[in-house]
Amino acid sequence: MGPSFLFATGIENSIPTIGNGSIRVDEMESCRHYELWHQDFDLVQELRICFLRYGPPIHKTFLGANRFDWSFADITFQDLRRRNIVPIVDLCHFGVPDWVGNFQNPDFPELFASYAGQFAARFPWVQLYTPVNEMFVCAEFSASFGWWNEQMRSDQAFVTALKHIVKANILAMAAILKVRDDAIFIQSESSEYFHAENPSAIQPAEVLNSKRFLSLDLNYGRRVDSEMYEFLMDNGMTREEYHFFLHNNFKHHCIMGNDYYITNEHRVAKDGCTSPSGEVFGYDEITQQYYNRYMLPVMHTETNIMQGPRGDEAVFWLWKEWANVLRVRNNGVPIVGFTWYSLTDQVDWDSALREKNGRVNAVGLYDLDRKIRPVGLAYKQLIQDWGEVLPTQSVCLQVPVVTPWDHNDWGKTISPKVAVSERKQAETNEAENS
């Protein structure tokens, strides 16, 4: 039995394309994780964090149908296992390999399921997964806003992307469970709310407040609201596809991960246009809405804010989000974890990765020189203070985590020599195919 509360951070591994697919925005590259991964894992341990949202870069790993380069994953995941850090494996974060194209590709769900199954077979000691990160946001930014990947702007493109992304998530869960029947899936999904700014905006706000649930409704096999059913049917989803979601779900293997940022709440005008509202309800109220809908254990899977000129802005936001977590918990919602995302600063999220400008966003527990920020010190202290208290408050509410050291094939790891050999072979194969 693992720890009863999951304090986590993450390594940012977003990889969308922009410029009509010609430019790859790779956050692991921008944040220098490929060269400093060992030091990054040192920092995780320095903070005494046991859980890490982390995944291999799919565009560098999934080279074609039944073609994989596991060399970087072999080295990094072996090191995580050596350290007994529990990964929450993030397999698809806002992008796909070039050869797949984008989320309009109807082959994506089955292809991704094969990738997930191969990963699970290669790393059978891994138990926790986020197969597809922020499914709703990924579909919206790619196919409704026109920012990433297919860069389309239509309801039909959005529904197409959404149904492919959620189906991919479901098929991936099925493939992983064939290898690891005690796998636990932590959906990391944006938690949103839309506020009507005047009476004429009430109806469009209600529509948006129904639409925000679509990815999780489909993922958990819940019947969508009637207006959303018409929206899906009018924009390309078939009855057969809809019934696939009703009859194929793995809700009993899931923890509902809710991401919350200051940008997650919106004002709605009478014409349906939205603008940022800032924090009105906050994480606790919105999470209660999601919990009432799905009745699943909850984890706060992402939050951050920029460290500003005072230097304590992120520290105060951490305190506020933690106070929200405690309020959710005290209201009887089974909340099992909290995440500051990410370990280091990020790059170009001030433009939502729409532009590759190289601008550093000071949202990490550490800066990109791997020097700890005030919020890193505050998070370390928070874990120390609350890590001893929370288990005594809820001895019955524990996530059945099997740590890497406790898995029954501990010691059967892939040697660095084999990993290097496989990388050289993969490079040779790639050169021959190109």
Residues 6+ apart with CB under 8 A from 121: 179
Q: Are the beta carbons of 260 and 284 closer than 8 angstroms?
A: no
Side chain identity, residue 5: F
Write down how long the chain is: 434
360 belongs to a structural domain: yes
> Does residue 279 lie in a domain region?
yes
Domain contains 275: yes
Range of the domain at 208: 6-429
Q: Are 166 and 136 in contact (CB under 8 A)?
A: no
- Check which CATH number belongs to the domain holding 289 and give it: 3.20.20.80
Distance (Å, rounded) from C-alpha 53 to C-alpha 73? 14
List all residues 6 or more positions away from 82 whose beta carbon is below 8 Å from its beta carbon. none
pLDDT at position 409: 72
Per-residue pLDDT of the chain (434 residues; tens, 9 = 90+): 455 799 999 999 999 999 999 999 999 999 999 999 999 999 999 999 999 999 999 999 999 999 999 999 999 999 999 999 999 999 999 999 999 999 999 999 999 999 999 999 999 999 999 999 999 999 999 999 999 999 999 999 999 999 999 999 999 999 999 999 999 999 999 999 999 999 999 999 999 999 999 999 999 999 999 999 999 999 999 999 999 999 999 999 999 999 999 999 999 999 999 999 999 999 999 999 999 999 999 999 999 999 999 999 999 999 999 999 999 999 999 999 999 999 999 999 999 999 999 999 999 999 999 999 999 999 999 999 998 777 655 555 678 899 999 998 765 544 444 444 544 554 454 455 44
257's tokens: 């991960």
pTM of the model: 0.93
Is there a domain that residue 434 lies in? no
Has residue 1 been placed in a domain?
A: no
What the block records as the tokens of 129 is 């997964």
In 267-335, where does DSSP find H-type helix? Answer: 283-294, 313-330
Domain count, the chain: 1
State residue 428's pLDDT score: 52
Q: Are 8 and 51 in contact (CB under 8 A)?
A: yes
Report yes or no on 265 lying in a domain: yes
